[in-house]
Structure 1
Amino acid sequence: MQHGIKTLFLLFTLSTLLACSRLPTISSKGRLQTIAFYNTGNFFDTTNDPQTNDDAYTPTGARAWTAERYQTKLKHIARVISGIGGSDGPAVIGLGEIESRQVLEDLVNAAPLRRAGYGIIHQDMPDAQGLDVALLYQPKLFKPTQTETFRIDFGEKGFASRDVLQVKGELRGEPVTIYVVHWPEPAGSKAKKAEENRLRKAATVLRQQIDKQQTADENVKIVVLGDFGTEPRTPVMQEVLKATGRPNPSYKEELFNTHFLPYVNGLGSYANRNDLQMPDQILISKALLNGEAGLQYVRGSAAVHDPEEIKFLFGKYKDTPIRTYSGDIYIGGYSDHFPVYIQVRKER
């Protein structure tokens, strides 16, 4: 009976999504713009920071993080970003697991990103390893007007993680608020309760900020980019954050999880014991779905960027990301995550 209920729920979800997809679709007018998120997978510089636990990622550390290996990763990540959503690269992209401003400056100046002239929004955060979130943007497409970060109080002595990064600006001349998040990673089966509590705390802080935006303007256009450390169907995502797979614009308070349907269809951005999961997601407010003039989400554009060059094509790990390290063994890959993205266009 339990399996029957799950099957009925899945069928109901799919039928709801399909029904909503029959709402008026976006026209072919207007140039597509890509919005993306990429957890770059422990993107450290090579300098030891005495304030953080980055010792393994130094030339003399356990992972022998040399200048040569750093340069290889720069080239890899730059090449991946440049190909997301087309040859022009993303208009804006949130990044996870970036150690420092220097990493970001080296990244945007690496070929082939250099020609796009990406701007950088970054602030040091209280993560134990010193890994932060950041936002890159093409100045000709996105003009930031205000940046703020919000600390998450986990209520645990000695534990801290990344802040919530909020960036307000204009994308193709349209006001939009972008959040970039990286919630705490799963702590393992023995710490499920602590893990759930941390995720709920993080979701609550983000939801409070979104509520403020929607109270001031119920038609505010919001995009949330991140690694949520949990998948789309969990209570934390659907009940605490109010991010669902329902694109119906009538439910204005909800966020639409653009990666809900790809997740239901078995796609994923991260391999956990060879099981592809979807912790990386992009959420949008319903004002980006109402079909009115201005910036609108292109229905069906949500995707996982997984070209052949960044994943294993054969063997035990087939179709999973080629990471930089396996334990302390250097593989020379890209990241343990695939990027995710959506596309929007400005309707007249």
Structure 2
Amino acid sequence: MRAWASFFILYISTNGPTIGQEANSYLFSFYNLENLFDTKDDSLTHDEEFTPEGARFWTESKFQRKISRLSSSILSIGEWQPVDLLGVCEVESAHVLNQLIERGGLSKMDYQVVHFESPDRRGIDVALIFRKERLSFIGAQNKKIQLNGRDDFRTRDILVCQFELDDRELFVLVNHWPSKYGGAMATIPLRNGVAHICAALVDSLKQSNPKASVMLMGDFNAEPQEECMNILESEAKLKSSFNSEGQGSNKYQGQWSLIDRIFIDENFEKVFSINRSGVHKVEMLLEADEKFLGEKPKRSFQGFKYMDGYSDHLPVFIEFNPRP
């Protein structure tokens, strides 16, 4: 088996698990945590608004409340079954994730953090937590995003983690693609460029590890029918883990959109069977949409107004079993 050569510092919580789970069933999820920042100003990034003196009046009590909220929402994904692996985005640092896994119910699951600093100007990164007891971790790396002719472009890296599950090798790639801030049409080339880079990365992993499976998860800031999604699926030969019709993970201007997704490759389907997969849309994570009717995610902020919620996104998940 090919191990990765150079990696990172891992951040570990050492409490043992207390909740049972079927031995041959795995639960993976992805969750945009909506600006999980601590209260300290990082001089290298533009995070000043997330300080007690900043525009959001981000205090330690609000941060701890956010941690408590997220812990509850993550536990709700599996109900009685804890999440084995959670990919996340919009996190400031390994420190805030350590706070998350060391407090409340998550502290009982023996989670480990994998995180790299990315060049994003706001200081938000992708990361991953996993249960050490359940998954055999091999290594990780961060793939930098460099677009031709855009030396000034800075965005989140792609996090690549390698695991072994029941003697089966699996790569998990965590993504947070460029947003539509600045205009949906104007930013299409950015997402298309990242899609090509991501597809090439998947192809490289498959060539180096032909028997390994690949799972891609993330906030892609694009709907299933958009060009960058077609690029990813066709060039990397990936498919969505669940039917996108009628699904939504984020609501904007009264319209639900499915921008958070999980993809799998052909090898995954050969060695694992999917029990269930989709958007974790439960009442505790929702509130009434008084302007556009229906419901919407119960978020932390509406603009700069503190809403005491969870996130403006809903988690997506996949539960699967190794095939005999």
TM-score (norm 2): 0.88
What corresponds to 2:81 in structure 1? 88
What corresponds to 2:306 in structure 1? 330
- Between the aligned partners of 2:234 and 2:308, the Cα distance in structure 1 is 36
1:171 to 165, 172, 177: 165
The alpha-carbon deviation at position 130 of structure 1 amounts to 0.5
Please tell me whether the aligned partners of residues 273 and 323 of structure 2 are also in contact (alpha carbons under 8 angstroms).
Answer: no
* Mapped pair 1:318 → 2:294: yes
Stretches of 4+ moved more than 6 A in 1?
A: none
What corresponds to 2:257 in structure 1? 277
- Between the aligned partners of 2:87 and 2:70, the Cα distance in structure 1 is 13
Paired residues in the alignment total 301
- Between the aligned partners of 1:203 and 1:237, the Cα distance in structure 2 is 7
Please tell me whether the aligned partners of residues 87 and 217 of structure 2 are also in contact (alpha carbons under 8 angstroms).
Answer: yes
What corresponds to 2:10 in structure 1? none
* Mapped pair 1:202 → 2:194: yes
Please show how residues 210-221 of structure 1 align to structure 2 within 5 Å.
Answer: 210-221=202-213
The alpha-carbon deviation at position 31 of structure 1 amounts to 3.1
Please show how residues 53-92 of structure 1 align to structure 2 within 5 Å.
Answer: 53-92=46-85
* Mapped pair 1:138 → 2:131: yes
Match of 1:125, SS?
coil
What corresponds to 2:238 in structure 1? 255
Please tell me whether the aligned partners of residues 289 and 296 of structure 2 are also in contact (alpha carbons under 8 angstroms).
Answer: no
Please tell me whether the aligned partners of residues 38 and 95 of structure 1 are also in contact (alpha carbons under 8 angstroms).
Answer: yes
* Mapped pair 1:111 → 2:104: yes
Amino acid of the structure 1 residue aligned with 2:82 = G
Q: Based on CA coordinates, which of the two structures has the bigger radius of gyration?
A: 1
Kindly indicate which of the two structures has a greater share of residues assigned to helix: 1
Please tell me whether the aligned partners of residues 165 and 181 of structure 1 are also in contact (alpha carbons under 8 angstroms).
Answer: yes
What do residues 297-332 of structure 1 show as CA deviations (whole Å, max 9, x unaligned)?
315x11111211111146335321011011111110
Bigger shift: 48-57 or 314-323?
A: 314-323
RMSD across aligned positions (CA): 1.8
Q: 1:287 to 1:86 in 2, by over 3 A?
A: farther
Identical counterparts, % of pairs: 28
**Unaligned stretches of 5+ residues in structure 1:** 1-28, 245-252
* Mapped pair 1:158 → 2:152: yes
The alpha-carbon deviation at position 139 of structure 1 amounts to 0.5
What corresponds to 1:308 in structure 2? 283
Match of 1:192, SS?
coil
Match of 1:88, SS?
coil
What corresponds to 1:234 in structure 2? 226
Amino acid of the structure 2 residue aligned with 1:158 = D
What corresponds to 2:266 in structure 1? 286
Please tell me whether the aligned partners of residues 146 and 153 of structure 2 are also in contact (alpha carbons under 8 angstroms).
Answer: no
Kindly indicate which of the two structures has a greater share of residues assigned to strand: 2
Please tell me whether the aligned partners of residues 98 and 104 of structure 1 are also in contact (alpha carbons under 8 angstroms).
Answer: yes
1:224 to 190, 207, 216: 216
What do residues 61-96 of structure 1 show as CA deviations (whole Å, max 9, x unaligned)?
000000010001000111111121332321111001
Bigger shift: 80-89 or 158-167?
A: 80-89
- Between the aligned partners of 2:234 and 2:31, the Cα distance in structure 1 is 20
Q: 1:52 to 1:171 in 2, by over 3 A?
A: same
The alpha-carbon deviation at position 220 of structure 1 amounts to 2.3
**Unaligned stretches of 5+ residues in structure 2:** 1-21
Q: 1:314 to 1:234 in 2, by over 3 A?
A: closer
